[in-house]
Chain A
Amino acid sequence: MATGADHSKPHMHDFEAHVRAVEEDLEYYRAKRIEPRIFTLIRRGILSFYDILKAASSSPSAAGVSGEGDGQEKDLESWIRALEDALDDYVREIGLITSALGDSVDVVTEDSRKERGDYDEFFRIAKKEHRGTLEERVRGLTADVRDYRNLLDVLTRALIQRGIIGGDELNKSREAVNKAGPWHGGKIVARAWVDPNFKAKLVSQGREALRELGIPPGRVGKLGVLENTESVHNVIVCTLCSCYPYDLLGDTPWWYKQDIYKKRIIANPRGILEEMFGLKVPPNMEVRVHDSTSDVRYMVIPRRPKGTEGMKEVELAKLVTVDSLIGASEALPPSEIGKIKETEWGHPKPRPRDY
């Protein structure tokens, strides 16, 4: 975990936005991803509350971030970064467990949506409110992440004890994920900018075209590819369920999954792009919003920034942000490499893969 200021990273300017992003994401992953999955396991008689209790009592004391007194970083910025790292670990672990479960338990995405109350509010799990000063919230979030991760570890133990998932396979998957190379999103767009043949294949074949980049094509529906041009600016949304090619590109920022984006971007695309992201699309261009389903999940190829002629693919990939793949921003100009613009809406960085 980070201790002291990390001078290799750009300075954090908007603490509030970082903390808000953590709050939203943490609650999303708890209440929409992992806890509904636990209910499914219990409903189907695959696991019981008692298995979980037994695993809890047979375990060493709460793992997670570290022992008592951690989280008291030297300064608020380091503390928030440590919190974000712990959140990323939590998200990654959820991905590993649900992926391992996917092999032995028949659960499709539709089931998960029902279980988490997407179609019926009755089933929704209440989100926790985070109040107080910035520091109080960071302190509270640090404790929450530790608690939530603790449950995850106990759950894993229970599943292994019950023979539902294998401990060795889980460790192997964890190693593979930790070794995972650079973010696919940047890789794909950089190649598309540089190689028109690849771009054409990407548009016509979708996922299959990714094999040539060494990226596994994934298994969730088809990939729709939207190229931004001088006349059309594409932006994606999934009003019904927040679909996105997660398995290829990692996770979306928290706002993509919320009504504050979903309900407004379709009614006032240009206005919301400016209000939320400071993106002003010229009046002579069309803004084209794509409302997707789970069967075809879209990514945007942002326009190649000026002044990038002759740049290597590896460098070009750094200009691509998660926002630009959604259409919420342009790709970064070369002068801005590594400096993701901070907005009120948080600092989307490539999240761990969701399986």
Chain B
Amino acid sequence: MYIRGKKGVVVDVHGVISNPRDHRGLYPPLYTVAFDVAELFGEARRDKLWVDVHEEWLEKA
């Protein structure tokens, strides 16, 4: 996925969300991580990308 190996800032913590309609079982806690579009896609843009990611994909920076 496009954020692999990139650094971002956690801006929201959603915790564990029960969503039995979508998937069986509970997923790990969900976080919103903010990235600069410029850093991810290499252009000089001021825009941000806030990506919701489950904990198992995250590593402490």
A residues in contact (CB < 8 Å) with B:
108-110, 219-222, 239-240, 266-270, 283, 286-296
Contact = CB atoms under 8 A, between A and B. Distances in A.
Interface residues of B, number: 27
Contact of B37 (A267, A283, A292, A293): A267
The 4 lowest CB-CB distance pairs between A and B, nearest first, are A109-B22, A287-B47, A295-B17, A267-B41
B22 A294 contact: yes
B21 A220 contact: yes
A270 B14 contact: no
Given A270-B45, A286-B47, A288-B47, A296 B21 contact: no
Contact of B52 (A268, A286, A295): A295
B51 interface: yes
Nearest to A240: B1
Nearest to A109: B22
B51 A291 contact: yes
Given A110-B22, A266-B2, A286 B14 contact: no
Contacts of B6: none
A57 B47 CA distance: 58
B37 A290 contact: no
Interface string B10-36: 000010010111111001001010000
30 contacts: A108-B20, A108-B23, A108-B24, A109-B22, A110-B23, A110-B24, A219-B21, A220-B22, A221-B22, A239-B1, A266-B37, A266-B40, A266-B49, A268-B45, A269-B37, A269-B45, A283-B46, A286-B48, A288-B47, A289-B49, A291-B51, A291-B52, A292-B52, A293-B30, A293-B53, A293-B54, A294-B22, A295-B19, A295-B52, A296-B14
B49 to A, nearest CB: 5
Contact of A268 (B1, B32, B43, B50): B43
Nearest to B50: A290
A286 B36 CA distance: 11
Nearest to B2: A266
A100 B28 CA distance: 30
A295 B18 CA distance: 8
Contacts of B30: 293, 295-296
Given A266-B40, A292-B52, A295-B14, 17 more contacts: A220-B21, A221-B17, A240-B1, A266-B49, A267-B41, A268-B37, A268-B43, A283-B46, A286-B46, A287-B47, A288-B47, A290-B50, A290-B52, A293-B54, A294-B22, A295-B22, A296-B17
